[in-house]
Amino acid sequence: MIKLLRIDDRLVHGQVAMAWTPALGVDCLVVANDKVARDDFIKMTLNLAKPASARLLVKSIADTIAFLKDERSKPLKLLVLVNSVADAHTLAQSLPEITSINFGGLRMRDGAKAVSRAIYLTDADITLVRTLLEKGTALEVRQVPTDKPTGLESLI
């Protein structure tokens, strides 16, 4: 069961390990990213940052979709982490059970503008956000579970 799909360009870090994992009661983190899935060094560093209470899977976007559709993943309590709006959009389009997405952190990059203290979106990101909103996907900005969630639609 997917407990949360989170967009955070840092993927696994302190907020994920120390705040989100216990708050959600997840037992498995899934990093869905094509580049990271091919990079053994980054996988090793993410594994060092994960909480001891959860296992870490690093998969390509296509393999993540296949894994999440597989009945064997259903008993797991999953926190799915992506580092881009595009990857979250792809997962949400392929997996109808994804009805909400958490925007935890997207740092400044070329062409991006701030929509909150920790979220910077490009025009391409905003186009994808609008398609998710039209589909009825709930999009919240919240860095840690104790923060008050803010609907992304009110910020763009």
Structure tokens at 102: 């958490």
CA 14, CA 16: separation in Å to the nearest integer?
5
Report whether 132 contacts 101 (CB < 8 A).
Answer: yes
CA 135, CA 137: separation in Å to the nearest integer?
6
Helices (H), 1-156: 14, 21-24, 34-37, 40-49, 61-69, 85-94, 123-135
| Residue 16 backbone phi and psi in degrees, to 5 | -70, -45
Concerning whether 13 is annotated as a catalytic residue, the answer is yes
The active-site residue, picked from 7, 9, 12, 13, is: 13
CA 48, CA 104: separation in Å to the nearest integer?
20
Residues 6+ positions from 71 with CB-CB distance below 8 Å: none
Show which residues are catalytic: 13
